[in-house]
Amino acid sequence: MMKDSIFLIFCILLPALNCQKKDRSKAKRLRFPSIVLVDSIATGESAANGETPFLGSLTSKHTCSEEQRKSKFRSADGSCNNLEHPAWGQAGASYLRMISDHYDDDESVPRQTSELGSLLPSARTVSQEVFNSESHPSARLTQMAMQWGQFLDHDLASTPAEIGIKWHFMHLREDCFPIYIEEGDSYFTSDCMGFARSQRYEGHTTYGKRQQFNTITSFIDGSMVYGSSEEEMLMLRAGEDGLMSTTDVPGGESFLPNDSSPGACKNQDDVGIFCFLAGDARVNVIPGLQAMHTLFVRFHNRIATELKTISEVKNLFKMTESASNNDEFLYQTARKIVAAVIQRITYKDYIPSVFGREFVHQFKLDQPYEYKPSVNPQIINEFTTAAFRYGHSLITDSMKLNGKDVPLHELYFNTVPVLKNFSQVITNLIEGRSENSDKYFSKEMTDKLFLTSKGSLDIVSLNIQRGRDHGLPSFAEYRKICKLPPVKRFEDFGDCGRALRNVYKSPMDVDLYAGAICEKPHGGNEVGPTFACIIGTQLYTLKNGDRFFYTTLNHNLGFTAKQLQFINKITLSSLFCEFGEIGEVQSNVFFPSNRINRVRKCNNFAVPWTRDLFEF
């Protein structure tokens, strides 16, 4: 984190970047070195369009060993999930693309030019002029909708930014892509906002253009809890009885391990306060995310403990030669169950609640699982760079703690609420309303994101700029590939049309994120049709391209019927009751409580621990 901060300062201060307001109208497009990337066209499958060639899939010469082919458990890094294409979905794989990139030089330079030849508007200008800062609480979703989305996102994708420490100073400049701030901005007084380009994907390729890559596994496999490499997993394990490492605090509760690295969070020098260490480095960003990580580590350890006490398993242990073998079996089995529960919550609760039944049916997510080796489960660039960032609109201004509304900017990288008021953090998630998914964003996100004495950022500006950095084509191009009516006039953008006209020269210039956020959701969906197309396609490939998906009928890879009965009974409500230090909760935590979704005592949601679960 400290290296990242230093790099952002360089990006902000370097005068050679033409970052002065007065130079904006005459600014030349930044030129970046062309690169060669690693990919060829591979086959994926879209629930919307049938067989679809995705751009950017890694072709690997790696082969899987006989042990890997027969293993009941996933590999740490996601390799050999697909035995025909061992690198598909592996940590370090490049992102796929639904549409060929749009770089200004057709190789690497970010998209900065209008189809009419002038510069595109600054991402901050688009944020200021198009996306208002007003509160519009959702009538149908709790804050848990946003929080599970973020937790899930951190299981799927992590894009590394260029870090200046390893670069020669002159090379450092090439990967700064600052966001210009116009004079008279409503909040910022500086000339630009620091922005580091995503790292380029190096290697042998037939594609020949700049591509980005994923540092974690693509699968819904709990990698945010466990990590995406053997080294990360070992660092987070207790080393005995299959347990994850935890830190016990006065009162007997267990929390995540202590991350003592400088700058990992705020207040880490205060007595009794520490930063958290998890399978994903972003764990400390906000209290709700910290709470979810804590919840699932507690869940893992409870499974491992229950597993150890079953007499049949003890008899099995008599046949092993070492405690390390027992530890490995307990750990991998608990990890397998946790990943299955995360998948079940995602596909059975989160997706229908947030995106609606019509969406589920349209993208075939309600059909029985059928593993398809031709389906590439790697993360789609448009999904992680734009579509799944829809959730930023759901974020609220504050969290209620000890009867007071604490503004979000005071909670970034702050672990005190979780350590001191864990149950209140959970209560905020299940009782508080999210904001509507629309063109309105909290000022805590557009003006005060990661606020420190050195400044802050704007999430909408960052999202738009990241799309340009990745060479994502305009919104209009995605309407075409999703077989939606074309946008030809600014009037086609509905309520956003007038504001978009004020900043863009042509409707064909509108960025994917900006255009899709302006779309009206329908059919019980929180996103419009373009983001629905991208998200639905991704969720389809993540299910049917995963050999270990929890409902597989291959019992060597999946579960018995009795085990599935147990897994299907576990909901977020039952987990919050078991590990969230609360006494009551509604049945579906993604929806506010009402006469149908009523609040009940936690004894109604008890996790049904049974011997059947552990018959492996």
Q: Which two tokens stand for residue 351?
A: 């997706």
**97 pLDDT more than 80:** yes
373, 280, 377: which is closest to 58 by C-alpha? 377
What is the mean predicted confidence (pLDDT) over 19-26?
42
d(CA 76, CA 236): 13
What's the pLDDT band for 58 if we cut at 50, 70, 90?
low
pLDDT digits (tens, 9 = 90+) for 149-164: 999 999 999 999 986 4
Q: Are 180 and 122 in contact (CB under 8 A)?
A: yes
Domain residue extents for the chain: 1-30+162-196, 223-246+281-375+554-614
Q: What pLDDT sits at residue 616? A: 60
Element containing residue 585 per DSSP (H, E): strand 584-586
In this structure, the dihedral spanned by the alpha carbons of residues 291, 441, 495 and 515, taken in order and rounded to 10 degrees, is -70
Q: Are 234 and 51 in contact (CB under 8 A)?
A: no
Q: Are 433 and 413 in contact (CB under 8 A)?
A: no
What is the mean predicted confidence (pLDDT) over 511-538?
96
Q: Is 392 a known ligand-binding residue?
A: yes
Q: What pLDDT sits at residue 465? A: 99
Q: What pLDDT sits at residue 173? A: 67
Name residues whose C-beta falls within 8 Å of residue 301's C-beta, 6 or more positions apart in sequence.
Answer: 243, 244, 246, 254, 334
| CA 443 distance to own-chain centroid | 22
Question: Which one from 85, 102, 136, 154 is the annotated catalytic residue?
Answer: 154
**Residue showing tokens 């229908």:** 352
d(CA 354, CA 365): 14
Q: What pLDDT sits at residue 166? A: 40
Phi, psi of 486 (to 5 degrees): -70, 155
d(CA 449, CA 467): 19
Q: What pLDDT sits at residue 79? A: 98
Could you tell me what percent of the chain has a pLDDT over 70? 84
What is the mean predicted confidence (pLDDT) over 547-572?
94
Q: Are 257 and 247 in contact (CB under 8 A)?
A: yes
Pinpoint the alpha helices (H) of 141-204: 143-156, 169-174
Q: What pLDDT sits at residue 26? A: 38
d(CA 559, CA 545): 18
Q: Which two tokens stand for residue 330?
A: 């307990």
Q: Cα angle at 399 between 395 and 405, to 5 degrees? A: 125
Element containing residue 400 per DSSP (H, E): strand 398-401
**226 pLDDT more than 50:** yes
Q: How high does pLDDT run on average in the chain?
A: 88
d(CA 185, CA 392): 21
pLDDT digits (tens, 9 = 90+) for 346-376: 999 999 999 999 999 999 999 999 999 999 9
- pTM beyond 0.75: the answer is yes
What's the pLDDT band for 522 if we cut at 50, 70, 90?
confident
Residue 204 annotated among the catalytic residues of the structure: no
**98 pLDDT more than 90:** yes
